Structure 1
């Protein structure tokens, strides 16, 4: 078993790697693009244009850092055109419809993106001759959840009562099928991350983004389920886990093919209401208000066990929930004060790397 190292990444592995990153225009994808380029990777992004303003992709000028291609993964011909003439060593598939409430409003579009989009990408990758590893990002919500609050492990049953969760569980089955049928020599894995927070998320119906919009507009954020619990994780912890896993897939035959990434066990648990309180206090907003939604399909309790990442990869998150919230709100406060969004991302990436290297050294 590897020694637990937290998040120290290997720049020598990433330097010069040709990386296909889908979903680079999203919140998490933009952070990934910035970090990968700093590690020396040659990144090609494939995604739709951002669907809201503001967004981190535009604010941080990510298009200037990578080879950014606009294509819809639901359209095989458009995807093939975006990949034409390009070869890749590694693939990080993050493109998705990632909002639960949007999936309830548009289930067919959600399944088209998250299931068929994943299948379309894997089909296109069959024509890539130099692949070393493929990592598909799914979700902590892939498990059949009875709201008991039990932490799910990778071998638990897949499921999902809302279309988003079900689509991500179905994507896991697509990944397993393609891996076994068409990629006998290329490791194809999936990563199941917790609820990710961080600076630069302005998405609709995302808690942190809602808190920020309310604070900046002088309004009170409305919470549907303030008692709900989630495995909150800072975006840098989550991405470090993804990067660690795909490096293992590319270099170790014993690397696991499906891995949870979430907070350290035994850390402080933060409810939706507590996170909102921390955010409101940091940004100087109004106290949140509770407005129940009896028709909501969202799980009240969700927890994942990240023990496999620790045992098999030597990886565990470095930031607990209060630290993740503090780092997130610091980003938004300083961005609102006029600091460079890209500069803030780089500063936090460098601080995170320094933390990992200090612990190692």
Structure 2
């Protein structure tokens, strides 16, 4: 995968730029030279990675709720995007139990509003809608999910994202026939510096370390496809570029780590404990908890075959990059500089991987 000149000067509509993944992606698009028009609700956390990495206020950024179809349509008309990257969502499982109606309204209704607003957009080439690995009907049999597996979802968050997938497919096949390519991207559990969300494992570790407390884990033996945040974001960028240039007609792709990165929650805590300064370790959280999947893994073969995308950071490296970000930030380092340095390092890894692949092909082709 190559971060090409495709993005330089390209008009991009990014939703959800104040969230964790959105803030990283907004910064990466800036680095690539894109003309980004962003919309989102105000950042939900304090500190906020968006606030820490943003430049001077950008007139092309709007505070906007995607449930407001009229306001969304007006912003989309002004943006005139070539590419849309849709990350805005209610992304927390436990919040979805407390507010199922709001979760469905945002994740399904908001996506429908966005695609409706983009209908007839004259310059639009591609739309990538970020969903989740939790869209699959999970029997917890241990087999990594592939893109053709049945959709489902026990909890409201997972079900809302599965419904989002169905809505995207319906609108693509009915309202956008012969028009821009529209697809969904399903990523696993991401970790990385600058996440302060509630009820996520790394932010919970950071907060426990700051208090000097032991971390309480709801499901220490749950298996997740852990990956650094830059891995799926690189996939989204590669997918959008391939769609826009006609190099793929895929409508959904998984972006998950290699199988060795499938690890239990407690194994992630153990891998990051020293780097985050979690002196008290962890203990099981008492009480009853809403149901969450115990086993969840992805098969990303199709993304490798169609895009040339592949994970560049193994489990230990992803944990190390994440812990180092927080440690350096606590020591006074600038968050924007830390993010840009890790993006640059990731791009260097991508170039090295491409060079190795080219060398391998050359050796194979020799008589």
Q: Aligned residue pairs: how many?
A: 353
- 2:139 pairs with 136, 146, 149, which one? 146
Aligned twin of 1:336: 330
Aligned twin of 2:203: 209
Q: Does residue 312 of structure 1 match 2:287? A: no
Partner secondary structure for residue 301 of structure 1? coil
Deviations 1:49-80 (A, max 9, x none): 01121110011125646721110001112212
Aligned twin of 1:162: 155
Q: 1:301 to 1:34 in 2, by over 3 A?
A: same
Q: Does residue 71 of structure 1 match 2:64? A: yes
Q: Contact 2:181 / 2:244 at 8 angstroms: preserved in 1?
A: yes
Deviation of 1:268 after TM superposition, in Å, equals: 4.3
- 2:283 pairs with 289, 293, 296, which one? 289
Deviation of 1:122 after TM superposition, in Å, equals: 0.5
Q: Give the TM-score normalised by the residue count of structure 1.
A: 0.95
Q: 1:69 to 1:247 in 2, by over 3 A?
A: same
Deviation of 1:253 after TM superposition, in Å, equals: 5.4
Q: Distance in 2 between matches of 1:212 and 1:22?
A: 27
- 1:99 pairs with 82, 92, 98, which one? 92
Q: Does residue 350 of structure 1 match 2:344? A: yes
Deviation of 1:359 after TM superposition, in Å, equals: 2.5
Q: Distance in 2 between matches of 1:324 and 1:79?
A: 35
Relative to structure 2, which stretch is displaced further, 269-278 or 150-159?
269-278
Partner secondary structure for residue 308 of structure 1? helix
Aligned twin of 2:297: 303
Q: Does residue 321 of structure 1 match 2:346? A: no
Partner secondary structure for residue 262 of structure 2? coil
Structure possessing the higher relative contact order (Cα contacts under 8 Å, 6 or more residues apart):
1
Aligned pairs for 1:32-51 within 5 A: 32-51=25-44
Q: Contact 1:43 / 1:66 at 8 angstroms: preserved in 2?
A: no
Partner secondary structure for residue 146 of structure 1? coil
Q: Give the TM-score normalised by the residue count of structure 2.
A: 0.93
Q: Distance in 2 between matches of 1:358 and 1:331?
A: 23
Relative to structure 2, which stretch is displaced further, 279-288 or 192-201?
279-288
- Cα RMSD of the aligned pairs, angstroms, is 1.4
Deviation of 1:293 after TM superposition, in Å, equals: 4.8
Aligned twin of 1:9: 3
Aligned pairs for 1:141-290 within 5 A: 141-184=134-177, 185-252=179-246, 254-265=248-259, 267-285=260-278, 286-290=280-284
Q: Distance in 2 between matches of 1:63 and 1:79?
A: 23
Q: Distance in 2 between matches of 1:198 and 1:188?
A: 28
Partner secondary structure for residue 230 of structure 1? strand
